[in-house]
């Protein structure tokens, strides 16, 4: 039988103990990075959709035509976006009676997979909203 002092000098299971202590931290960090990547991907998609809507709306001659062009641009763009459900996208155009108009695209991100898996590490904003201001006539 080995003595207590002899057992305290042994290093046989040190790596397993260190792994057991550090693995949950690394796994949590990895899941946090995945969660942020999903959220930032959706956020960048909404930003891109807002810019596309603004560029499309420049061609409109009336307020109704600008609004229709922006709606169509967002609808077409939402089809190709990862993590974006086109039914959750809302387009708002305001200020069309002045020399500038504002296009706001907001997305209800409550159904993103990040909220059920990594909610502890992701920002608490479940609505992603982006705005673009354009001059009437595009100049």
pLDDT (0 to 100) of residue 16 = 86
Q: Where are the domains of the chain?
A: 13-135
6 falls in which pLDDT band (50, 70, 90)? Answer: low
Q: What is the pLDDT of residues 49-96, one digit of tens each?
A: 999 999 888 888 888 888 899 999 999 998 888 889 889 999 998 876
pLDDT (0 to 100) of residue 138 = 56
Percent helix, strand and coil across the chain, each rounded to 5?
Answer: 55, 15, 30
**Is residue 46's pLDDT more than 80?**
yes
Helix (H, G, I), strand (E, B) or coil at 130: strand
pLDDT (0 to 100) of residue 89 = 92
Q: Which two tokens stand for residue 69?
A: 């062009």
Neighbouring C-alpha atoms within 13 Å toward the C-beta of 66: 23
CATH 3.30.1300 fits 13-135, yes or no: yes
| Contact by Cβ (8 Å): 49, 77 | yes
The Cα-based distances of 56 to 84, 104, 105, 131 in angstroms read 20, 14, 14, 14
pTM of the predicted structure, to 2 decimals: 0.78
């Amino acid at each position: 039988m080995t003595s207590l002092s002899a057992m305290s000098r042994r290093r046989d299971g040190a790596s397993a103990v260190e792994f057991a202590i550090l693995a949950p931290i690394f796994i949590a960090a990895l899941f946090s990075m995945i969660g942020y990547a999903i959220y930032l991907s959706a956020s960048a998609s909404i930003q891109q959709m807002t810019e596309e809507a603004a560029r499309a709306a420049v061609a409109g001659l009336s307020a109704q035509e600008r609004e229709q062009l922006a709606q169509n641009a967002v609808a077409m763009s939402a089809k190709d976006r990862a993590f974006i459900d086109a039914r959750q996208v809302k387009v708002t155009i305001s200020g069309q009676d002045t020399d500038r108009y504002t296009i706001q695209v907001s997305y209800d991100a409550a159904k993103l997979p990040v909220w059920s898996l990594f909610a502890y590490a992701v920002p608490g904003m479940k609505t992603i909203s982006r705005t673009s201001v354009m001059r009437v006539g595009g100049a």
